[in-house]
């Protein structure tokens, strides 16, 4: 009965895949103003569609005396034969449809403004970009869903591979115990796989566990990191604290130096040696605090804010433009004055010439 339901769901999946590709071809024809659908369907495209249909059609077939139509409850059948087990494991190849479903259901793909801005910046809205958006926006949820999905798949595959070799009826519990232990790279050794398929599943589970652990550390580090405002406040308070410590250390140095000078005058050898040791310790502490303060200052100076740099550049550009406009105004004023002086000189020369002509 289960095989019949799997066959029916597989037939529905194949119909939906064909409908998806038909809609995709229609959209391609609409975007490129095509009338003949054979132009939109190339040989590689047909090969990919055929390969996709072949992968999605793999499932345990309900062969025999038509068990879907004439079930026999009294007949006891084995769990799965070797061929049916291989087909059932190959059904996990259908997981390639998950990225497609995530891409089509993503808000990034449905947002027109997002797509228009992305097209201007030559961004391809494919699954890798959508995955990066999801990881940046919801890292904890994505990692949790990925880990739980990996556990479930590995648990089911391992239970199918090891069912005939595990004693007792608690094979599901043993398999469910083995997957998290292998994923977390603990490995107590109380349950071990027997078949080559089970060993391969445990190996891949351990490798994926190491990768997910690294991703978990990255997510935790990102969550524990200071925000921009918190980082500035923390560095400011550390700077103030180090400045206070440096002042106290400098005061201790002066105090011990004065006490050493005082007891040296009195020729008190025991107290002189005591304050001499304290003076050396105070000098060492002062140097340590001063170096710590320098490191904090260097860290604060290195942590230049991009927005602050942008504001500085905008102010500099504005001041330069204002200076340029003021210089242009001064040049225009100087030009007008020169023209006026030229006219006055010309008028004066003409008047002199007229006077000379009248005298002659």
The tokens for 199 are: 């060993």
Angle of helix 139-162 versus helix 82-90 axis, rounded to 10:
170
Q: How many CA atoms lie within 13 A of 59 on its CB side?
A: 18
Return the pLDDT at 306: 56
Domain boundaries, the chain: 1-71, 228-302
Return the pLDDT at 248: 93
The DSSP code for 81 is -
Return the pLDDT at 263: 85
Closest CA to 235 of 292, 286, 299, 306: 299
Q: What is the pLDDT along the chain (360 residues), one digit of tens a residue?
A: 677 888 898 899 999 999 999 998 888 888 888 888 888 888 888 999 999 999 988 888 777 554 555 555 555 445 566 677 788 888 888 888 888 888 888 777 777 777 777 767 777 777 788 888 888 888 888 888 888 988 888 888 888 887 776 665 566 777 888 888 888 888 777 778 888 888 888 888 889 888 888 888 888 887 777 777 777 777 788 888 888 999 999 999 999 999 888 888 888 788 888 888 999 999 999 999 989 888 887 776 655 555 567 778 888 888 888 898 999 999 999 998 999 898 888 888 888 888 877 776
Taking the C-alpha atoms of residue 12 and residue 17, their distance in angstroms, rounded to an integer, is 9
87 contacts: CB under 8 Å, gap ≥ 6 = 58, 59, 60, 61
Residue with tokens 């250390």: 249
152 contacts: CB under 8 Å, gap ≥ 6 = none
Taking the C-alpha atoms of residue 61 and residue 68, their distance in angstroms, rounded to an integer, is 11
Taking the C-alpha atoms of residue 277 and residue 256, their distance in angstroms, rounded to an integer, is 9
In this structure, how many other beta carbons lie within 10 angstroms of the beta carbon of residue 305? 12
The tokens for 238 are: 């550390």
Return the pLDDT at 250: 92
Fold (CATH) for 228-302: Helix Hairpins (1.10.287)
Closest CA to 57 of 97, 7, 22: 7
Residue with tokens 């132009």: 39
Return the pLDDT at 168: 55
Instruction: Note whether 88 and 10 are within 8 A (CB).
Output: no
Taking the C-alpha atoms of residue 323 and residue 334, their distance in angstroms, rounded to an integer, is 16
Radius of gyration from C-alpha coordinates of the chain: 41
Return the pLDDT at 184: 83
Q: How far is CA 111 from CA 30, 98, 133, in A?
A: 20, 20, 14
Helices (H), 58-195: 82-90, 97-105, 107-110, 112-120, 127-137, 139-162, 171-183
One DSSP character per residue, 24-75 reads HHHHHHHHHT-S-HHHH--HHHHHHHHHHHHHHT-S----SS-TTTS--TT-
Taking the C-alpha atoms of residue 353 and residue 346, their distance in angstroms, rounded to an integer, is 11
Return the pLDDT at 180: 85
Q: How many CA atoms lie within 13 A of 171 on its CB side?
A: 17
Taking the C-alpha atoms of residue 283 and residue 99, their distance in angstroms, rounded to an integer, is 64
73 contacts: CB under 8 Å, gap ≥ 6 = none
Q: How far is CA 147 from CA 150, 151, 201, 231, in A?
A: 5, 6, 15, 32
Instruction: Note whether 211 and 143 are within 8 A (CB).
Output: no
């Amino acid at each position: 009965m289960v095989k019949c339901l799997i066959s029916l769901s597989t037939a529905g999946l194949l119909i939906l895949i064909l409908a998806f590709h038909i809609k995709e071809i229609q959209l391609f024809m609409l975007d490129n103003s095509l009338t003949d659908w054979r132009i939109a369907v190339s040989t590689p495209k047909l090969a990919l569609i055929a390969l996709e249909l072949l992968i999605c059609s793999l499932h345990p077939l309900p062969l025999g005396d038509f068990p879907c139509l004439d079930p026999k409850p009294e007949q006891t059948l084995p769990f799965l034969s070797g061929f049916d087990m291989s087909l059932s494991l190959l059904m996990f190849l259908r997981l390639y449809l998950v990225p497609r479903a995530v891409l089509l259901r993503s808000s990034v793909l449905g947002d027109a403004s997002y797509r228009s801005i992305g097209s201007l910046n030559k961004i391809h809205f494919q699954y890798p970009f959508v995955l990066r958006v999801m990881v940046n926006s919801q890292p904890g949820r994505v990692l949790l869903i990925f880990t739980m999905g990996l556990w479930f798949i590995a648990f089911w595959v391992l239970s199918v591979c090891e069912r005939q070799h595990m004693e007792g009826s608690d094979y599901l519990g043993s398999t469910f115990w083995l997957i998290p232990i292998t994923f977390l790279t603990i490995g107590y050794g109380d349950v071990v796989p027997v078949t080559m398929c089970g060993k391969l599943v445990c190996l891949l589970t351990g490798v994926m566990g190491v990768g997910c652990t690294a991703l978990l550390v990255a997510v935790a580090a990102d969550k524990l990191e200071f925000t921009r405002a918190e980082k500035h406040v923390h560095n400011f308070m550390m700077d103030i604290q180090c400045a206070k410590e440096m002042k106290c250390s400098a005061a201790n140095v002066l105090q011990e130096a004065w006490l050493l000078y005082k007891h040296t005058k009195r020729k008190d050898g025991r107290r002189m040696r005591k304050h001499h040791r304290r003076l050396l310790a105070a000098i060492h502490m002062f140097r340590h605090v001063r170096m710590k303060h320098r490191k904090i200052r260097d860290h604060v100076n290195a942590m230049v804010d991009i927005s602050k740099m942008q504001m500085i550049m905008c102010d500099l550009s504005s001041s330069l433009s204002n200076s340029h406009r003021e210089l242009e105004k001064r040049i225009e004023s100087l030009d007008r004055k020169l023209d006026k002086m030229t006219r006055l000189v010309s008028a004066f020369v003409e008047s002199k010439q007229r006077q000379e002509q009248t005298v002659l």
